[in-house]
Amino acid sequence: MIFFKKMIYFLKPLFSVVLGLGLGLVITKIAGEDPWNVLQILLKSAFGSRYDIGMTLFYSIPLVFTGLSVALAFQAKLFNIGAEGQLAMGSIAAAAFGIYFPNIPFPVAPILASICAFLVGAVWGAIPGWLRARRGSHEVINTIMLNFIASGLTSWMTLYLFRNLDSQNPETKAVGAGYWMPHLKIFGESPVSFSIFIALFAAFCVWFFLWKTALGYEIRAVGQNESAARTVGIDSAKIRILVMAVAGGLSGLVATNEILAHAGRFRLGFSPGYGFMGIAVALLGRNKPGGVVLAALLFGALHKGTSDLDLETENVTRDLSQILQALIILCVSAEGLWSFLLESSFGFKKKKKSEIRTL
Protein backbone atom coordinates (compact mmCIF):
# COMPACT_ATOMS: atom_id res chain seq x y z
CA MET A 1 0.00 0.00 0.00
CA ILE A 2 2.76 2.39 0.93
CA PHE A 3 4.56 1.46 -2.27
CA PHE A 4 1.38 2.17 -4.19
CA LYS A 5 1.02 5.56 -2.55
CA LYS A 6 4.63 6.44 -3.36
CA MET A 7 3.95 5.47 -6.94
CA ILE A 8 0.97 7.79 -7.10
CA TYR A 9 3.02 10.55 -5.53
CA PHE A 10 5.54 10.34 -8.34
CA LEU A 11 3.10 9.44 -11.06
CA LYS A 12 0.76 12.35 -10.50
CA PRO A 13 3.10 15.09 -11.77
CA LEU A 14 4.21 12.82 -14.58
CA PHE A 15 0.62 12.22 -15.52
CA SER A 16 -0.05 15.97 -15.46
CA VAL A 17 2.89 16.58 -17.77
CA VAL A 18 1.73 13.93 -20.20
CA LEU A 19 -1.82 15.20 -20.14
CA GLY A 20 -0.75 18.84 -20.54
CA LEU A 21 1.58 17.98 -23.41
CA GLY A 22 -1.09 15.85 -25.02
CA LEU A 23 -3.68 18.63 -24.85
CA GLY A 24 -1.18 21.14 -26.19
CA LEU A 25 -0.23 18.93 -29.09
CA VAL A 26 -3.85 18.30 -29.92
CA ILE A 27 -4.24 22.06 -30.22
CA THR A 28 -1.63 22.08 -32.98
CA LYS A 29 -4.11 20.01 -34.96
CA ILE A 30 -6.18 23.20 -35.21
CA ALA A 31 -3.24 24.80 -36.97
CA GLY A 32 -3.31 21.99 -39.46
CA GLU A 33 -0.16 20.30 -38.22
CA ASP A 34 0.33 16.69 -37.38
CA PRO A 35 0.76 16.54 -33.58
CA TRP A 36 3.07 13.56 -33.93
CA ASN A 37 5.25 15.51 -36.29
CA VAL A 38 5.30 18.46 -33.90
CA LEU A 39 6.35 16.19 -31.05
CA GLN A 40 9.20 14.83 -33.14
CA ILE A 41 10.37 18.33 -33.95
CA LEU A 42 10.21 19.20 -30.27
CA LEU A 43 12.31 16.22 -29.27
CA LYS A 44 14.81 16.64 -32.08
CA SER A 45 15.23 20.31 -31.42
CA ALA A 46 15.68 19.79 -27.69
CA PHE A 47 17.97 16.77 -27.73
CA GLY A 48 19.01 16.31 -31.36
CA SER A 49 22.67 17.24 -31.05
CA ARG A 50 25.24 18.20 -28.48
CA TYR A 51 24.56 21.82 -29.29
CA ASP A 52 20.80 21.32 -28.83
CA ILE A 53 21.30 19.58 -25.51
CA GLY A 54 23.58 22.42 -24.53
CA MET A 55 20.91 24.98 -25.38
CA THR A 56 18.32 23.00 -23.43
CA LEU A 57 20.63 23.06 -20.44
CA PHE A 58 21.28 26.74 -20.98
CA TYR A 59 17.56 27.46 -20.76
CA SER A 60 17.17 25.13 -17.80
CA ILE A 61 19.75 26.83 -15.61
CA PRO A 62 17.80 30.05 -14.98
CA LEU A 63 14.73 27.92 -14.36
CA VAL A 64 16.58 26.01 -11.65
CA PHE A 65 17.36 29.31 -9.94
CA THR A 66 13.88 30.79 -10.22
CA GLY A 67 12.26 27.43 -9.46
CA LEU A 68 14.34 27.12 -6.29
CA SER A 69 13.44 30.68 -5.41
CA VAL A 70 9.70 30.03 -5.67
CA ALA A 71 9.98 26.63 -4.00
CA LEU A 72 11.97 27.94 -1.05
CA ALA A 73 9.48 30.73 -0.47
CA PHE A 74 6.67 28.27 -0.75
CA GLN A 75 8.12 26.13 2.04
CA ALA A 76 7.31 29.08 4.29
CA LYS A 77 3.87 29.45 2.65
CA LEU A 78 4.94 32.55 0.76
CA PHE A 79 4.08 33.05 -2.88
CA ASN A 80 7.01 34.51 -4.74
CA ILE A 81 5.59 35.84 -8.01
CA GLY A 82 8.46 38.29 -8.01
CA ALA A 83 11.29 36.11 -9.32
CA GLU A 84 11.10 37.99 -12.62
CA GLY A 85 11.88 41.30 -10.98
CA GLN A 86 14.47 39.81 -8.66
CA LEU A 87 16.39 38.24 -11.51
CA ALA A 88 16.31 41.49 -13.44
CA MET A 89 17.65 43.45 -10.49
CA GLY A 90 20.30 40.82 -9.78
CA SER A 91 21.39 40.77 -13.40
CA ILE A 92 21.67 44.50 -13.79
CA ALA A 93 23.64 44.61 -10.56
CA ALA A 94 26.11 42.04 -11.87
CA ALA A 95 26.40 43.94 -15.13
CA ALA A 96 26.89 47.27 -13.35
CA PHE A 97 29.57 45.72 -11.17
CA GLY A 98 31.34 44.42 -14.24
CA ILE A 99 31.14 47.80 -15.92
CA TYR A 100 32.42 49.77 -12.93
CA PHE A 101 35.31 47.40 -12.19
CA PRO A 102 36.35 46.03 -15.59
CA ASN A 103 39.88 45.12 -14.59
CA ILE A 104 39.34 42.51 -11.91
CA PRO A 105 41.04 39.25 -12.99
CA PHE A 106 39.23 36.03 -13.78
CA PRO A 107 38.45 33.84 -10.82
CA VAL A 108 37.73 36.76 -8.51
CA ALA A 109 35.59 38.77 -10.90
CA PRO A 110 32.73 36.33 -11.54
CA ILE A 111 32.63 35.40 -7.87
CA LEU A 112 32.28 39.02 -6.78
CA ALA A 113 29.75 39.72 -9.52
CA SER A 114 27.70 36.69 -8.47
CA ILE A 115 27.72 37.78 -4.86
CA CYS A 116 26.64 41.22 -5.96
CA ALA A 117 23.78 39.73 -8.01
CA PHE A 118 22.74 37.57 -5.06
CA LEU A 119 22.74 40.49 -2.64
CA VAL A 120 20.77 42.85 -4.84
CA GLY A 121 18.28 40.10 -5.66
CA ALA A 122 18.05 39.44 -1.93
CA VAL A 123 17.26 43.05 -1.15
CA TRP A 124 14.61 43.10 -3.86
CA GLY A 125 13.12 39.90 -2.41
CA ALA A 126 13.33 41.10 1.17
CA ILE A 127 11.11 44.09 0.43
CA PRO A 128 7.90 42.07 0.00
CA GLY A 129 9.06 39.84 2.86
CA TRP A 130 9.35 42.84 5.12
CA LEU A 131 6.05 44.27 3.92
CA ARG A 132 4.32 40.98 4.71
CA ALA A 133 5.96 40.48 8.07
CA ARG A 134 5.75 44.02 9.40
CA ARG A 135 2.93 45.69 7.50
CA GLY A 136 0.78 42.66 6.80
CA SER A 137 0.28 43.34 3.10
CA HIS A 138 0.13 40.28 0.93
CA GLU A 139 3.26 39.29 -0.96
CA VAL A 140 1.45 38.29 -4.16
CA ILE A 141 0.36 41.80 -5.09
CA ASN A 142 3.56 43.33 -3.79
CA THR A 143 5.82 41.04 -5.80
CA ILE A 144 3.77 41.65 -8.95
CA MET A 145 4.09 45.39 -8.43
CA LEU A 146 7.80 45.06 -7.72
CA ASN A 147 8.22 43.18 -11.00
CA PHE A 148 6.96 46.22 -12.86
CA ILE A 149 9.05 48.57 -10.77
CA ALA A 150 12.13 46.44 -11.43
CA SER A 151 11.36 46.46 -15.12
CA GLY A 152 11.09 50.26 -15.07
CA LEU A 153 14.27 50.69 -13.05
CA THR A 154 16.36 48.33 -15.17
CA SER A 155 15.08 49.99 -18.30
CA TRP A 156 16.08 53.38 -16.97
CA MET A 157 19.51 52.17 -15.87
CA THR A 158 20.11 50.44 -19.18
CA LEU A 159 19.11 53.41 -21.26
CA TYR A 160 20.45 56.26 -19.15
CA LEU A 161 23.27 55.00 -16.96
CA PHE A 162 25.08 52.18 -18.74
CA ARG A 163 23.88 52.42 -22.32
CA ASN A 164 25.97 50.79 -25.00
CA LEU A 165 26.12 53.61 -27.54
CA ASP A 166 27.57 51.41 -30.26
CA SER A 167 24.44 49.31 -30.53
CA GLN A 168 20.92 49.81 -31.79
CA ASN A 169 19.65 47.39 -29.17
CA PRO A 170 18.71 48.52 -25.69
CA GLU A 171 21.62 47.04 -23.80
CA THR A 172 24.37 48.07 -21.45
CA LYS A 173 28.09 48.27 -22.09
CA ALA A 174 30.03 45.04 -21.82
CA VAL A 175 31.54 43.76 -18.59
CA GLY A 176 35.30 43.26 -18.34
CA ALA A 177 36.94 40.25 -19.94
CA GLY A 178 37.78 38.69 -16.59
CA TYR A 179 34.07 38.16 -15.85
CA TRP A 180 33.38 35.47 -18.41
CA MET A 181 32.70 32.05 -16.97
CA PRO A 182 34.38 29.15 -18.75
CA HIS A 183 32.09 27.34 -21.15
CA LEU A 184 31.68 23.59 -21.18
CA LYS A 185 33.25 22.45 -24.40
CA ILE A 186 31.35 19.17 -24.76
CA PHE A 187 28.22 21.06 -25.73
CA GLY A 188 29.74 22.62 -28.78
CA GLU A 189 29.05 26.26 -29.40
CA SER A 190 26.24 26.49 -26.87
CA PRO A 191 26.69 28.94 -24.01
CA VAL A 192 26.48 26.34 -21.23
CA SER A 193 28.99 27.41 -18.67
CA PHE A 194 30.22 26.80 -15.20
CA SER A 195 26.92 28.34 -14.12
CA ILE A 196 25.33 24.92 -14.35
CA PHE A 197 27.41 23.79 -11.39
CA ILE A 198 26.39 26.86 -9.46
CA ALA A 199 22.76 25.94 -10.14
CA LEU A 200 23.22 22.36 -9.00
CA PHE A 201 25.16 23.50 -5.97
CA ALA A 202 22.39 25.97 -5.16
CA ALA A 203 19.84 23.15 -5.36
CA PHE A 204 21.95 21.08 -2.99
CA CYS A 205 22.35 24.02 -0.61
CA VAL A 206 18.61 24.69 -0.54
CA TRP A 207 17.96 21.03 0.19
CA PHE A 208 20.57 20.93 2.92
CA PHE A 209 19.39 24.22 4.37
CA LEU A 210 15.74 23.22 4.48
CA TRP A 211 16.05 19.67 5.69
CA LYS A 212 19.26 19.57 7.71
CA THR A 213 19.54 22.83 9.58
CA ALA A 214 17.59 24.18 12.51
CA LEU A 215 16.83 27.38 10.62
CA GLY A 216 15.47 25.41 7.68
CA TYR A 217 13.33 23.46 10.10
CA GLU A 218 11.96 26.71 11.46
CA ILE A 219 11.14 27.87 7.94
CA ARG A 220 9.18 24.73 7.24
CA ALA A 221 7.47 24.94 10.62
CA VAL A 222 6.29 28.48 9.86
CA GLY A 223 5.02 27.30 6.50
CA GLN A 224 3.24 24.33 7.98
CA ASN A 225 1.59 25.95 10.94
CA GLU A 226 2.48 29.49 11.84
CA SER A 227 0.49 29.41 15.03
CA ALA A 228 2.29 26.34 16.36
CA ALA A 229 5.64 27.81 15.38
CA ARG A 230 4.78 30.98 17.27
CA THR A 231 3.76 29.03 20.33
CA VAL A 232 7.17 27.38 20.59
CA GLY A 233 8.91 30.71 20.13
CA ILE A 234 9.82 30.85 16.45
CA ASP A 235 9.78 34.44 15.20
CA SER A 236 7.73 34.06 12.04
CA ALA A 237 8.23 37.66 10.95
CA LYS A 238 12.00 37.28 10.88
CA ILE A 239 11.73 33.94 9.14
CA ARG A 240 9.53 35.42 6.43
CA ILE A 241 11.91 38.27 5.72
CA LEU A 242 14.86 35.89 5.64
CA VAL A 243 13.15 33.44 3.32
CA MET A 244 12.11 36.10 0.87
CA ALA A 245 15.61 37.54 0.90
CA VAL A 246 17.23 34.19 0.12
CA ALA A 247 14.58 33.50 -2.51
CA GLY A 248 15.32 36.86 -4.13
CA GLY A 249 19.04 36.11 -4.02
CA LEU A 250 18.53 32.79 -5.76
CA SER A 251 16.61 34.51 -8.54
CA GLY A 252 19.38 37.08 -8.78
CA LEU A 253 21.86 34.30 -9.54
CA VAL A 254 20.29 34.00 -12.97
CA ALA A 255 22.93 36.62 -13.75
CA THR A 256 25.62 33.93 -13.65
CA ASN A 257 24.04 32.31 -16.68
CA GLU A 258 23.02 35.38 -18.63
CA ILE A 259 25.47 38.14 -17.84
CA LEU A 260 28.60 36.17 -16.97
CA ALA A 261 28.30 33.39 -19.50
CA HIS A 262 26.14 34.39 -22.42
CA ALA A 263 25.70 38.08 -23.16
CA GLY A 264 28.42 39.73 -21.12
CA ARG A 265 26.05 42.66 -20.66
CA PHE A 266 22.50 43.40 -19.55
CA ARG A 267 20.11 43.25 -22.49
CA LEU A 268 16.68 44.71 -21.83
CA GLY A 269 14.02 41.99 -21.92
CA PHE A 270 16.49 39.08 -22.03
CA SER A 271 14.26 36.94 -19.86
CA PRO A 272 11.47 35.16 -21.72
CA GLY A 273 9.57 34.98 -18.44
CA TYR A 274 11.99 32.81 -16.44
CA GLY A 275 10.43 34.13 -13.26
CA PHE A 276 6.93 33.04 -14.15
CA MET A 277 8.16 29.74 -15.51
CA GLY A 278 9.82 29.30 -12.12
CA ILE A 279 6.36 29.10 -10.57
CA ALA A 280 5.50 26.24 -12.89
CA VAL A 281 8.84 24.57 -12.23
CA ALA A 282 8.40 24.75 -8.46
CA LEU A 283 4.84 23.51 -8.68
CA LEU A 284 5.77 20.57 -10.87
CA GLY A 285 8.81 19.80 -8.75
CA ARG A 286 6.61 19.75 -5.64
CA ASN A 287 8.69 22.50 -4.06
CA LYS A 288 11.59 20.10 -3.47
CA PRO A 289 15.04 20.97 -4.86
CA GLY A 290 15.44 17.62 -6.63
CA GLY A 291 12.05 17.96 -8.24
CA VAL A 292 12.84 21.52 -9.22
CA VAL A 293 15.96 20.45 -11.10
CA LEU A 294 14.05 17.80 -13.03
CA ALA A 295 11.14 20.13 -13.77
CA ALA A 296 13.56 22.84 -14.89
CA LEU A 297 15.09 20.40 -17.36
CA LEU A 298 11.65 19.61 -18.73
CA PHE A 299 10.68 23.24 -19.14
CA GLY A 300 14.09 24.10 -20.55
CA ALA A 301 13.62 21.35 -23.12
CA LEU A 302 10.15 22.68 -23.93
CA HIS A 303 11.53 26.14 -24.42
CA LYS A 304 14.35 24.97 -26.64
CA GLY A 305 12.16 22.46 -28.46
CA THR A 306 9.54 25.00 -29.44
CA SER A 307 12.11 27.54 -30.60
CA ASP A 308 12.60 25.67 -33.87
CA LEU A 309 8.90 25.41 -34.62
CA ASP A 310 8.92 28.75 -36.44
CA LEU A 311 11.19 27.35 -39.10
CA GLU A 312 10.15 23.75 -39.19
CA THR A 313 6.39 24.11 -39.41
CA GLU A 314 3.97 26.13 -41.40
CA ASN A 315 1.70 27.54 -38.75
CA VAL A 316 2.96 26.68 -35.29
CA THR A 317 5.29 29.13 -33.64
CA ARG A 318 7.41 29.11 -30.51
CA ASP A 319 4.40 30.46 -28.66
CA LEU A 320 3.36 26.84 -28.29
CA SER A 321 5.84 26.78 -25.41
CA GLN A 322 3.64 29.15 -23.38
CA ILE A 323 0.55 27.10 -24.14
CA LEU A 324 2.19 23.83 -23.14
CA GLN A 325 3.51 25.34 -19.91
CA ALA A 326 0.13 26.80 -19.03
CA LEU A 327 -1.65 23.52 -19.64
CA ILE A 328 0.88 21.61 -17.56
CA ILE A 329 0.49 24.06 -14.68
CA LEU A 330 -3.28 23.81 -14.85
CA CYS A 331 -3.09 20.02 -14.82
CA VAL A 332 -0.71 20.03 -11.85
CA SER A 333 -2.72 22.59 -9.94
CA ALA A 334 -5.88 20.57 -10.31
CA GLU A 335 -4.92 18.14 -7.55
CA GLY A 336 -8.54 18.00 -6.52
CA LEU A 337 -9.42 16.72 -9.95
CA TRP A 338 -6.96 13.85 -9.67
CA SER A 339 -8.21 12.58 -6.37
CA PHE A 340 -11.71 12.96 -7.76
CA LEU A 341 -10.83 10.86 -10.81
CA LEU A 342 -8.90 8.29 -8.77
CA GLU A 343 -11.79 7.89 -6.39
CA SER A 344 -14.33 7.31 -9.07
CA SER A 345 -12.19 5.00 -11.18
CA PHE A 346 -10.30 2.94 -8.60
CA GLY A 347 -12.98 3.03 -6.00
CA PHE A 348 -10.76 3.79 -3.02
CA LYS A 349 -11.81 6.82 -1.13
CA LYS A 350 -9.66 9.25 0.72
CA LYS A 351 -10.65 9.12 4.34
CA LYS A 352 -12.00 12.26 5.85
CA LYS A 353 -9.74 13.83 8.42
CA SER A 354 -12.25 13.47 11.20
CA GLU A 355 -12.44 9.76 10.57
CA ILE A 356 -8.72 9.34 10.81
CA ARG A 357 -8.48 11.19 14.09
CA THR A 358 -10.95 8.94 15.81
CA LEU A 359 -9.06 5.79 14.82
Partner 1 sequence: MTPSVEFRGLSKAFHGNMANTDLSFKVRKGSVHAIIGENGAGKSTAMKILYGIYQPDEGEIYIEGKLWGGRQKPWSSSSDAILHGIGMVHQHFMLGGPHTVLDNILLGAEQAHWGWRWLPKALRPIDRDEARQRLESLSEQYGLKVAWDALVENLSVGVHQRIEILKLLYRDAKILILDEPTAVLTQQETNELFDHLRKLCHRGKTILMITHKLKEVMSIADRVTVFRAGKIVGEREIHKTYVEDLASLMVGRKVSLKAESPPQVVLQEPVLQVQGLSVKDFKLQEVSLQVRRGEVVGIAGVEGNGQAELLQVLLHPLEYQNRMKGVIEVVGKNIEGLNTRQIRDLGMGVIPDDRLRDALLTDRPAQENYILGLHREKPFCQAGLILDRQVEELTDQAMEEYDIRPRSRLLKADRFSGGNQQKLVIAREFFRSPKLLVIAQPTRGVDVGAIEFIHKKIFRARSEGSGILLISSELDEILALSDRILVMYTGKIIFEFNRGEVTEQALGLAMGGEARS
Partner 2 sequence: MEVFMWIVQLMASTCRVSTPLLFAAMGGMMSERSGVVNIALEGLMLLGAFVAAAATDFTHSPVLGAFAAFMAGLIFSIFYAFFVIEIGSDQIVAGTAMNMLALGLTPFFSKILYGSSTSTPSLPIEFRFQYAPVWIAFGVVVLCWVWIVKTPFGLWVQFAGEHPEALDCAGVCVKRVRWMAVLVGGGLAGLGGASLSIFLSSSFSRNMTAGRGFMALAALIFGKWKPIPAALACLLFGFSDAIQIRLQSVVLWGNEPVPVQFIQILPYFVTILVLAGFVGQARAPQALGIPFVK
- Which residues of this protein are in contact with partner 1, per CB under 8 A? 212-215, 217-218, 220-221, 224-225, 227-235, 353-359
Least spacing, CB of residue 29 vs partner 2, in Å? 11
x/- mask, partner 2, residues 11-30, rule CB under 8 A, reads ----------------x--x
CA distance 156 to 159: 5
Helix, strand, or coil (residue 138): coil
Q: Could you say which residues in the range 45-74 bind partner 2, by CB under 8 A?
A: none
- From the list partner 1, partner 2, none, which binds 225 (C-beta under 5 to 8 Å, kind-based)? partner 1
Least spacing, CB of residue 220 vs partner 1, in Å? 8
Least spacing, CB of residue 5 vs partner 1, in Å? 12
- From the list partner 2, partner 1, none, which binds 251 (C-beta under 5 to 8 Å, kind-based)? none
- Residues that bind partner 2 (rule: CB under 8 A) add up to a total of 50
Count of C-beta atoms within a 10 Å radius of residue 185: 10
- From the list partner 1, partner 2, none, which binds 359 (C-beta under 5 to 8 Å, kind-based)? partner 1
**What single-letter DSSP state applies at residue 32?**
T
Tell me which amino acid residue 355 is. Answer: E
Choose which of 167, 169, 225, 333 interacts with partner 2 (CB under 8 A).
333
Check: CB of residue 229 under 8 Å from CB of residue 222. Answer: yes
CA distance 321 to 301: 10
Count of C-beta atoms within a 10 Å radius of residue 170: 14
- From the list partner 2, partner 1, none, which binds 81 (C-beta under 5 to 8 Å, kind-based)? partner 2
Phi-psi region of 242 (alpha: psi -120 to 50; beta: other; left: phi over 0): alpha
Q: What phi and psi, each to the nearest 5 degrees, are found at residue 331?
A: -65, -40
- Bridge partners (DSSP) of residue 183 are 193
Choose which of 103, 336, 345, 352 interacts with partner 2 (CB under 8 A).
336
CA distance 29 to 17: 19
Rg (CA), the chain: 21
Chain contacts with partner 2 (rule: CB under 8 A) = 27, 30-32, 79, 81, 131, 135-138, 140-142, 144-146, 148-149, 152-153, 155-156, 159-160, 273, 276, 279-280, 283, 315-317, 319-327, 329-330, 333-337, 340
